[in-house]
Amino acid sequence: MLSSTAKNLYWMGRYLQRAKSTARLIEATQRMALQSRGEEAADIAAIFGMEDEYRELQQQAGGRLATLIDFLVLDENNPSSMVSSIGAARRNAREERNNITVDVWESLNGLWLELNERLRVDRALLDRGALIESVKKQAVMIFGAAQVTLLRDEAYNFLQLGAFLERADNTARILDVKFHVLRPDGDPNAGVLDYFAWSEVLACIGAVRTYRRIYRSALHPVKVADLMMLRRDVPRSVHHCLWMLDLSMRELADIYGSRGEADRLAGELHARLRYARIDQVFEIGLRKFLGGVRGDIATLSDEIGRQFLLD
């Protein structure tokens, strides 16, 4: 497979997952704002690594949550906004029509057309909530179409690599920021539990009901961290994402008959989450542990670029 083809499919997966994660996170944050601590905008800026942009928005428009949400959802000059991500994913998909199915292309192209139609109206009349909900649902349909129609070959593996790398990083960021907002000293057992706030942390990855099915108990920060980080059977947990990454890397190695540094790092990261225990993680320090994982996810992204995409 040409490196340009692999790159298009890899970034199609990343951009689609980014748009979907952004929609879910903003939806949960808006619900949390109704209870309002008044710091939701700062929290969401930290998760996206956009603290500098947020400070600039504070100077220009008071840094209100609505202003930051428009920047993350509608701003076509922001390359990571939801609208920009969908547009970039569609451009990548258009280049690779021969490597994806009609169902995947029509689902993605339909979402892009719907977004453009919605954005033609006066921004003052735009229903942002409906737009975010539409992106969230349509992104699920696109990934579903890919899951049930794509041939299990290199194209599928590169799409999976991009999607799961993006998802692993996103979940780690959410847990890192949200946990330490609710537990600034990092102690999961201290203070009074804000049930609604912890529910919204789980809602960021769509796992409120999943938590109840697994633990059948009241919310507890340690169990929330365990679910988001170490449960392989939870599709948006860091462990599950790194497991799928490692699986895709091994399948590509079998196809190409060789392994590189990206393969080694993917296996090491998966093993770290596979054999970690939540009590040991808190002994190390959740922030320190997640910082190491996030740093290695970034390194893995660079190594995949060097090994396959000629970056």
Q: Taking residues 9-31, what's their average pLDDT?
A: 91
pLDDT at 61 over 70: no
Contacts 24+ apart (CB under 8 A), 259-262: 260/303, 260/307, 261/303, 261/306, 261/307, 262/300, 262/303, 262/304, 262/306, 262/307, 262/308
Mean pLDDT on 77-87: 89
pLDDT over 70 at 58, yes or no = no
Q: Distance between CA 19 and CA 231 in Å, rounded?
A: 24
Based on the number of CB atoms within 10 Å of its own CB, is 121 exposed (0-12), middle (13-18) or buried (19 or more)? exposed
Cα–Cα distance between 212 and 236 in angstroms, integer? 16
What is the per-residue pLDDT for 33? 65
Residues listed for the chain: 311
Strands (E), the chain: none
The predicted-structure confidence for 188-239, as pLDDT tens digits, reads as follows 876 678 888 889 899 999 999 999 999 988 899 999 999 999 999 999 999 9
Amino acid at 179: F
Cβ pair 22, 169 in contact under 8 A: no
Instruction: Render pLDDT for 229-285 as a digit per residue (tens, 0 to 9).
Output: 999 999 999 999 999 999 999 999 999 999 999 999 999 999 999 999 999 999 999
d(CA 92, CA 10): 9
Q: Of the candidates 244, 198, 206, which has an alpha carbon nearest to the alpha carbon of residue 225? A: 198
Show me where the domains of the chain are located: 1-149, 151-311
Q: What is the pLDDT of residues 23-46, one digit of tens each?
A: 998 888 777 766 655 566 667 777
Among 177, 288, 171, 297, smallest CA distance to 236 is for: 171
Q: Token pair for residue 170?
A: 């996103």
pLDDT-derived band at 48, boundaries 50, 70, 90? confident
Per-residue pLDDT at 184: 81
Token output for 145: 């179409």
Residue-level pLDDT at 34: 60
- At 120 the pLDDT is 85
* Mean pLDDT, rounded, for 53-76: 74
Q: Is the confidence at residue 159, as pLDDT, over 60?
A: yes
Sign of CA dihedral 50, 293, 165, 187: negative
Mean pLDDT (the chain, rounded): 89
Task: Taking residues 67-88, report their average pLDDT.
Answer: 86
The pLDDT assigned to 63 comes to 56
